[in-house]
Amino acid sequence: MAEPSELARLEARLFRLVAQPAPVDEAARALAAEDPGAHPLAAWIAGGDEARAVERLTIYANQYFVRHRDALGEIFAGCAAFAGQAAFDACVAAYLGVERLRGPSLDEAGDAFAAFLEREAGARGLRADLGSLAALERARREAFVGADAPPLRRDELARLPADDWPALRLALVPCARLVATSHAVEALWLAHDRGLGPPEVVARAGMLAVWRRGPSVYHRALAPDEASALARIEARAPFAEVCEPFDEPEHALELLAQWLADELLAAPIG
């Protein structure tokens, strides 16, 4: 394998020192053990001695943390509020220490944060329901900026011949998300939205639907049969399969009417 160029070597050093949560002087000592050319810093960072190089690198390292902390704090506002600022900051630092951020937008920096909280909340002494709350907050952000699409209208569906219904493949509007949760966090989200303290939340696996109607984002918990039916719609299964989870056909039709009213289904049908 070819030796990295001087530029590649320099960028790798700088990235290693600033895109991580540890103090720069500590990170520099760890780097020097693997890359002796990185020590002393003043040999490759101009304009002063070692202390000044650490000071200047620390500006970038601080920016790396603060920029991502602020972006995550905005997306996961409920998690930040219920974790407390110090614990949330520590959580973000740990997240940045293990996750490589693969999206060009800061909005994408939290793509793996819900899964991280689901794994780590307990070990960090945080509420066990924060992972589910983060998954809901993330889905709401995605729905807020998801693609626009006209919703399916009741009259479009009514024109469909009866014989075509079993093979009908409905679709969710592109901004809709089905979110698996380990805790029933709707009340937790609502408490944050209203500026209230956190309620007791039960550990119960479930599914939430999240979608946008006009400029407003909505979510609601799904019963198991509705969750299964919507998951089948998301997978573009034929309507006959969508109805399989229901004991009573009337219940399927009631929910279909609800989905149309919610604007969860996309036009055109096909």
Partner 1 sequence: MRQEGRQGDLTPRALGPALGHGIGLRREHYGHVLEHGVGDVDWLEIVSENFFAPGGRPWAVLERVRAERPVAMHGVSLCIGDTGPLREDYVARLLRLVERLEPAIVSDHLCWGGLGGAYAHDLLPLPYTEEALALVVDKVSTLQDRLGRRILLENVSSYLAFTASTLSEWDFLGEVARRADCGILLDVNNVVVSAKNHGFSPETYVDAIDPGRVGQLHLAGHTDHGHVVIDSHIGPVPEGVWALYRRVVARMGRVPTLVEWDEQIPAYEVVVAERARAAAIEAEVLDHG
| Interacting residues toward partner 1 by CB under 8 A | 4-8, 10-12, 14-15, 18-19, 43-47, 53, 55-57, 59-60, 63-64, 67-68, 71, 100-107, 109, 142-149, 174-175, 212, 215
Cβ 222 to partner 1 shortest distance, Å: 23
* Beta carbon nearer to partner 1, 35 or 55: 55
CA–CA dist 81, 79 (Å, integer): 5
Cβ 144 to partner 1 shortest distance, Å: 5
CA–CA dist 28, 11 (Å, integer): 14
* Beta carbon nearer to partner 1, 15 or 165: 15
User: b/e per residue, 179-211, with b = 16+ CB within 10 A?
Assistant: bebebbbbbbbebbeeeeebeebeeeebbbbbb
Cβ 173 to partner 1 shortest distance, Å: 10
Beta bridge partners of 236: none
Cβ 236 to partner 1 shortest distance, Å: 20
Q: Which amino acid is at 126?
A: L
Say if CB 183 and CB 114 are below 8 A apart: no
Q: Distance between alpha carbon 262 and the CA centroid of its chain, in Å?
A: 23
Cβ 156 to partner 1 shortest distance, Å: 21
* Beta carbon nearer to partner 1, 106 or 221: 106
CA–CA dist 192, 255 (Å, integer): 29
Cβ 220 to partner 1 shortest distance, Å: 19
* Beta carbon nearer to partner 1, 44 or 246: 44
Cβ 112 to partner 1 shortest distance, Å: 12
CA–CA dist 135, 181 (Å, integer): 7
Q: Give the total residue count for the chain.
A: 270
Q: Which amino acid is at 125?
A: G
CA–CA dist 150, 263 (Å, integer): 9
* Beta carbon nearer to partner 1, 36 or 125: 36
* Beta carbon nearer to partner 1, 173 or 230: 173
User: Nearest CA to 157 among 238, 262, 260, 244?
Assistant: 260
* Beta carbon nearer to partner 1, 104 or 268: 104
* Beta carbon nearer to partner 1, 12 or 231: 12
CA–CA dist 184, 203 (Å, integer): 7
Extract the tokens encoding 173.
């509007």
Pick left, alpha or beta for residue 220 (phi over 0 → left; psi -120 to 50 → alpha; otherwise beta). Answer: beta
Cβ 108 to partner 1 shortest distance, Å: 9
